[in-house]
Structure 1
Amino acid sequence: MQTSSVLITLALPALALTSAACTTEAWYEGMKYSAESRCRQQPPSELQACRDRLNKENHATYERQRADLK
């Protein structure tokens, strides 16, 4: 089960990035999914803090911050 989880973790962002209809939202969600998988590998005492850091902003907020940097 662990191996299939790792494969899915690696394949989803790659699929999102290489898709012909790839959008920044798909990329963003794929990266969040990968980060969530890494959070689940943390010790139980660190899991919630990791998820809290991960879920601070949505895609719209990310886009606004990205536009401000340009």
Structure 2
Amino acid sequence: MNLKDTLKSLKAAREKCVNTVDKGTLNKIDEAIHQLELIEITESKPNKMQWLTGAIKILSLIKLLTDNIDFGG
């Protein structure tokens, strides 16, 4: 999986929880996704550990807040 695919999956997971979590939390998720988008734009070869760490943080936050949502494709 590359950063582009990861961002696509994170955005899909975010959309699944949009009606479940509060606006402040959605803003935090959006900001974290935006940070990963900046990594994709600014770095010619993004550090895989850096973006995977960011992706894991976002998914963990979503999972914690929406324990009943299935994130499978």
TM-score surpassing 0.5? no
**Which one scores higher on RCO, CA 8 angstroms, separation ≥ 6?**
2
TM-score range (shorter-chain normalised) is 0.3 to 0.5
Whose radius of gyration is greater, 1 or 2?
1
